Every structure is written in structure tokens, then in C-alpha cells.
């Protein structure tokens, strides 16, 4: 007999059920995003549930860290710890009585049993099975105990777990929204522990109880959990509960499509993308396209999609079965489009929000530590934004000048660090252009030419520099290049003339003086 389930029409309730690790991996974030979008599209609920039944993996402030990331992404749960909701508590360690009640029910109905096997016995059993070339599984030893034996052991306070009974030779089937029909033979399924010796439930047990009691309609989660599904389906059957829909989402792969995205291979926490200056809208846009795309009838060629568009058109039936890859070049391209779409005021606003996000100390920093790059980035961002705040008259214009040149907000620093750091000059670059001319004399003349002009503006400089270049028989461009190096320290900079207007005469004068003191 197969497990039967119903697909009644129900309110959409999707949960994100992380362990309290303090952070969210970017690959998982994509799966969470699918769940969030689906819930929003269906005007359903997005629920945060914390699965902290593995007490060994507990991290201080682990829940706070998860919530922080969701908030940065703008994905506020409708229900969850700290968010209210009538299905709480939403933290599994606060629900132990509930799990206990259901495990008792299963024991009474003969669908679960106490197991008193010692860790040594289980290890030995596993070794023997491995040596014999069979799949390591519990051998059902404690099922043979009589109820008197069980009572005596419990009364004597013997350490025990509760295991579920798995019938032999049954085919368990279900229809996954992404993977289609999946079937398992119960002969391959181990008699799973439901309650551990510390009284905590296992993930496999708690997840079923909670998904049912919290009226989850769609279990959207990573494909890693596909193989746990048969055990869970049997539990639904034992408890007489309707089975929700399963939507297993393929893993996010590395850009080279070789393997699942891992920390070692440079994958990072979702929050780090934000701190690097990818804006939330762009991350949303990008992540949503990893392993999914909108119906070609509504798709845009440039793949530039707002959250409203994605919510309107998100369709779980279009989740691709093959894992999507995290292609950073595509992320850069999408972020660039987003940044370019902002008005000057919006860009300024984004930079200020980002500044706070970079400055903030997140739980993840305690968990994973702060890298040298991040520490440097924090310093740079602070310098840059303090300057922009202190110079409100030119801040938006400065940002607008580099807007077409940045892929992410942190790139702004590279363009403007010359304003904020010890002056540097590409003196060698100047020398290579000047040739055998007297460099000090040339720079002094250039300074006099520009500073002597009555108006501090682009046209008069332009004319003055061109005629000075003619008098030296130099290419105009070469002289402009020298000026660029003097003002910005580099041969590549934001548009020079606009920059000089914005930074002002005093700034440019100081640059000339500093350079003249060293050549
Ligand atoms: N607690 C599991 C995790 O950390 C959730 C699995 C599920 O969504 O069923 O990924
Ligand atoms: Zn046992």
C-alpha cells in the first residue's frame, strides 16, 4: 500500500526552518527566497521556525544572526520567534512536551519503541555490517523486549532513545513539485531515532510534528532533504495527518558547476554580499534567477526584475531540476543595472543604508570571525561616507560621477580614495609623458595657468591648458593626463573637469603644492 495524501486547496504557509547557526549561506538564501516569494505571491504566510534540537550545534545568539540576515534582505517573517503568530513557540527546544506527547502516542500504537542499546553496541553493529558489506542500519534488537522488560529498564533509569518502526518491503511514493514522482523502498530506510537520550527530538521527528501543527502547506527546502522524506511520510501516515506538498529545491552550484556551493570554494554568507555593496534589490533579482526564470511570455531580455515583478510571476513549477550556479559576473551585471537605475538621491540613500550595514556588528562576525578584507572595508566605508555626509552640497554629484563606473557600492571607494587618504601621485607616469622637459617647471607653469584664471570652471581651463600644451608642443591629451595624475594620483579617474569643479580650487591647489614638494 502506498502512502496516500490529499492535495486539497489550502492557505499557503511556507516555512524556513534553519538551525540557529547565526548566519545564512547564500545558496540557502536562494531557497529561502523561493519560499518567501511563493508565500507572498499566494498571499500566504512566511514562517520562521528554529530547529535547535541538536544541542551540540548551538551557537550563542544563533537565532539573532538568522533574523539579522532576513532583515537585511527585507524578508520579514509573518510568524516566528519575536514575530508573533498563533502556532508558537517557533523554537523547537521550547516544544519538547509536544514531541514527547506524540512519541508516547506512537509507542502506544506500536509504531515506535524504546531502544536501550549502548553506543558501544551500535558502533560494533555498524562495524560488523560494514565488514559484511551491508548497509549499516539498526537491527531492531530492542523491538524484541517485552513490556515488562521495558518498564523495568525505564524504572531503573536506563538511558534510552525512541525509534520508529519501519515496515519491511513497502514502497513509499510521493510527488515532488520539482522532482516529480519519487519512490523509496522501506527496506532502505533505517529505524530512525525520534527522541534522543537527552529527551530532545531528532530533526526527522520534530519537523513532521511542527510542519503539521503549524499547518505548513508547502515544504520548500534543499534537495539534501529528499532522502529523509520517506521516513517523514511514514510518520504522517502513523499520525493520520494530511501530507503537505514537497518542493525540494536543487542545490546552488559553484560557478564552474563543479559541485555544491561550499564555504571552502569561496561561497559566503548572504550578509557579506550586502556588505560588499550588492544592493538588496539586485541580490533578490540575481538569486531568484539561480535555477528559476519567469515564463518567457513575460520575461525581460535584460533580466532586470523588481521584487514586485518577481512576486507576481514566481511559479514553483518553473523551478529547474538541475542545480543553478552562482555566476558572480551575472551578479555584477545585475547589480550594475540596479545601481544605474537609481536617481542621485536614491543612490545617496543606498550608500547611507549600506554604511550602517557595513558598520554594524553582526552575529556572524562572532561565528565566522572578521576577515582582514572586511575590517579594511569597514574603515574605508566609514571614511567615504563621513566625507559625503560632511559635504552634502557635492555628495550626490560625486556619486553621480562614478555611478556609470561601479559594479557595487564598495567600488566607490576605489574611485575616491584619493580624496581621503595620504596623497599619492603617479610621478613615473608624469615623467614618462614629460620626457626630457623640466618636470618641476612644467607643473609650476601648469599650476599658474590654471590658478590664475578668474573663473573656476571647465571652459576656461580647457582653453588655457590647450594653449599651454601648444606652446610646449605637447599633445593636449598628455597635458590633461598630467593634470589628472596631479589631482587624483592616477591615470584613470572619474571625469576630471567635473571632479575639479566639485572638489574646488583649494583641494586642487593643495595637490599641486604637495606634488611640487616631492618632485
Ligand atoms: N533544520 C533543517 C536545516 O537546517 C531544515 C530542513 C527542512 O527544511 O526540513 O536545514
Ligand atoms: Zn536497542
Domains and CATH numbers, the chain: 13-81+206-249 (3.40.50.620), 96-195 (3.90.800.10), 342-421 (no CATH), 427-516 (1.10.10.350)
Q: What is the pLDDT of residues 180-235, one digit of tens each?
A: 999 999 999 999 999 999 999 999 999 999 999 999 999 999 999 999 999 999 99
- CA 145 to ligand 2 centroid distance, Å: 9
Among 51, 56, 93, 201, say which to mutate for ligand 1: greatest number of ligand atoms within 8 Å of CB: 51
Give the residue-averaged pLDDT of 397-405.
Answer: 98
Mean pLDDT of 104-122: 97
- Distance from chain centroid for Cα 424: 37
What is the C-alpha to C-alpha distance for residues 442 and 468, in angstroms, rounded to an integer? 10
Q: Where are the alpha helices (DSSP H) in 166-269?
A: 203-213, 229-239
- 6 has pLDDT over 80: no
* Burial readout 87-124 (b: 16 or more C-beta within 10 A, e: otherwise): beebbbbebeebbeebbeebbeeebbbbbbbeeeebee
Average pLDDT of the residues of the chain: 93
335-361 pLDDT per residue, tens: 999 999 999 999 999 999 999 999 999
Average pLDDT rounded to a whole number, residues 454-470: 91
What's the DSSP call for residue 201? B
How far, in Å, is the centroid of ligand 2 from the Cα of 50? 29
**How far is it, in rounded angstroms, from Cα 38 to Cα 310?**
10
For residue 454, the model assigns a pLDDT of 87
What digits encode the pLDDT tens for the residues 228-278? 999 999 999 999 999 999 999 998 877 666 666 655 445 588 899 999 999
pLDDT band with cut points at 50, 70 and 90 for residue 15: very high
Q: Inform me whether the pLDDT recorded for 3 exceeds 80.
A: no
In tens, the pLDDT along 305-340 reads 999 999 999 999 999 998 788 899 999 999 999 999
Nearest CA to ligand 1 atom 5: 17
Ligand lying closest to the C-alpha of residue 158: 2
- Determine contact, residues 111/164, Cβ cutoff 8 Å: yes
Is 210's C-beta closer than 6 angstroms to any atom of ligand 1?
no
Is 47 touching ligand 1 by the criterion CB < 6 Å? no
* pLDDT at residue 8 is higher than 60: no
What average pLDDT does the segment 78-96 reach? 97
Predicted pLDDT at 424: 87
- Average pLDDT for residues 434-439, to the nearest whole number? 84
Dihedral angle over CA of 264, 267, 271, 274, nearest 10: 140
Could you identify the atom of ligand 1 that is nearest to the CA of residue 19?
4
Q: What are phi and psi of 378, to 5 degrees?
A: -60, -45
Closest CA to 208 of 168, 239, 176: 239
d(CA 357, CA 377): 12
Cα separation, 30 vs 488, in Å, equals: 40
pLDDT at 263: 54
Mutate to test the pocket of ligand 1, among 203, 204, 212, 252 (most ligand atoms within 8 A of CB): 203
Does 225 sit in the ligand 1 pocket, CB within 6 Å? yes
Taking 90 as the threshold, does the pLDDT of residue 57 lie above it?
no
pLDDT at site 464? 92
Asked if residue 313 has its Cβ within 6 Å of ligand 1, the reply is no
CA-closest residue to ligand 1 atom 10 = 18
**Could you tell me the three cell numbers for 159?**
538511558
**115 Cα to the center of ligand 2, angstroms:** 4
Q: Which residues contact 104 (CB under 8 A, 6 or more apart)?
A: none
Distance 426 CA to ligand 1 centre (A): 54
Amino acid at each position: 500500500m502506498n502512502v496516500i495524501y490529499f492535495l486539497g486547496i489550502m492557505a499557503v504557509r511556507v516555512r524556513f526552518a534553519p538551525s540557529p547557526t547565526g548566519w545564512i549561506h547564500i545558496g540557502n538564501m536562494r531557497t529561502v527566497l523561493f519560499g518567501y516569494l511563493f508565500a507572498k505571491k499566494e498571499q500566504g504566510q512566511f514562517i520562521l521556525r528554529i530547529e535547535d534540537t541538536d544541542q551540540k550545534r548551538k551557537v550563542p545568539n544563533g537565532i539573532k544572526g538568522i533574523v539579522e540576515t532576513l532583515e537585511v534582505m527585507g524578508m520579514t517573517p509573518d510568524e516566528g520567534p519575536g514575530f508573533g503568530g498563533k502556532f508558537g513557540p517557533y523554537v523547537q527546544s521550547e516544544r519538547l512536551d509536544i514531541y514527547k506527547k506524540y512519541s508516547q502516542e506512537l509507542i502506544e500504537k506500536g509504531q515506535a519503541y524504546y531502544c536501550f542499546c549502548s553506543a558501544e553496541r551500535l558502533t560494533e553493529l555498524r562495524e560488523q555490517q560494514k565488514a559484511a558489506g551491508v548497509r549499516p542500519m539498526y537491527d531492531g534488537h530492542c523491538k524484541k523486549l517485552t513490556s515488562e522488560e521495558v518498564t523495568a529498564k525505564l524504572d531503573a533509569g536506563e538511558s534510552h532513545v525512541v525509534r520508529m518502526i519501519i515496515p519491511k518491503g513497502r514502497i513509499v511514493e510521493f510527488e515532488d513539485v520539482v522532482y516529480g514522482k519519487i519512490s523509496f523502498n522501506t527496506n532502505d530506510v533505517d529505524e530512525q531515532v525520534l527522541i534522543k537520550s537527552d529527551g530532545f527530538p531528532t530533526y526527522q521527528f520534530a519537523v513532521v510534528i511542527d510542519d503539521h501543527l503549524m499547518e505548513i502547506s508547502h515544504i520548500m527546502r534543499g534537495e539534501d532533504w529528499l532522502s529523509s522524506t520517506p521516513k517523514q511520510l511514514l510518520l504522517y501516515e502513523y499520525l493520520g495527518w494530511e501530507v503537505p506538498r514537497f518542493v525540494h529545491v536543487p542545490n546552488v552550484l559553484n560557478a564552474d558547476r563543479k559541485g555544491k556551493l561550499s564555504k571552502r570554494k569561496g561561497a559566503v554568507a548572504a550578509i557579506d554580499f550586502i556588505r560588499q555593496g550588492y544592493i538588496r534589490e539586485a541580490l533578490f533579482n540575481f538569486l531568484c534567477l539561480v535555477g528559476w526564470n519567469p515564463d518567457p511570455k513575460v520575461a525581460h531580455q535584460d533580466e532586470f526584475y523588481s521584487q514586485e515583478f518577481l512576486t507576481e510571476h514566481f511559479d514553483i513549477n518553473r523551478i529547474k531540476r538541475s542545480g543553478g550556479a552562482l555566476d558572480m559576473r551575472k551578479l555584477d551585471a545585475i547589480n550594475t543595472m540596479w545601481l544605474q537605475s537609481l536617481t542621485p538621491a536614491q543612490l545617496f540613500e543606498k550608500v547611507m543604508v549600506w554604511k550602517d550595514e557595513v558598520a554594524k556588528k553582526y552575529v556572524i562576525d562572532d561565528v565566522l570571525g572578521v576577515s582582514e578584507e572586511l575590517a579594511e572595508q569597514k574603515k574605508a566605508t566609514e571614511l567615504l561616507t563621513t566625507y559625503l555626509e560632511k559635504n552634502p552640497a557635492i555628495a550626490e554629484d560625486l556619486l553621480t560621477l562614478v555611478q556609470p563606473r561601479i559594479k557595487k557600492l564598495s567600488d566607490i571607494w576605489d574611485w575616491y580614495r584619493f580624496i581621503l587618504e595620504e596623497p599619492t601621485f603617479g610621478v613615473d607616469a608624469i615623467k614618462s609623458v614629460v620626457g626630457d622637459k623640466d618636470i618641476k617647471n612644467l607643473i609650476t607653469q601648469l599650476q599658474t595657468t590654471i590658478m590664475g584664471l578668474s573663473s573656476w570652471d571647465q571652459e576656461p581651463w580647457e582653453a588655457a591648458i590647450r594653449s599651454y600644451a601648444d606652446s610646449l608642443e605637447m599633445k593636449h591629451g598628455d597635458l590633461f593626463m598630467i593634470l589628472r595624475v596631479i589631482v587624483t594620483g592616477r591615470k584613470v579617474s572619474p571625469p576630471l573637469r567635473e571632479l575639479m569643479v566639485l572638489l574646488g580650487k583649494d583641494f586642487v591647489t593643495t595637490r599641486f603644492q604637495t606634488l611640487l614638494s616631492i618632485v
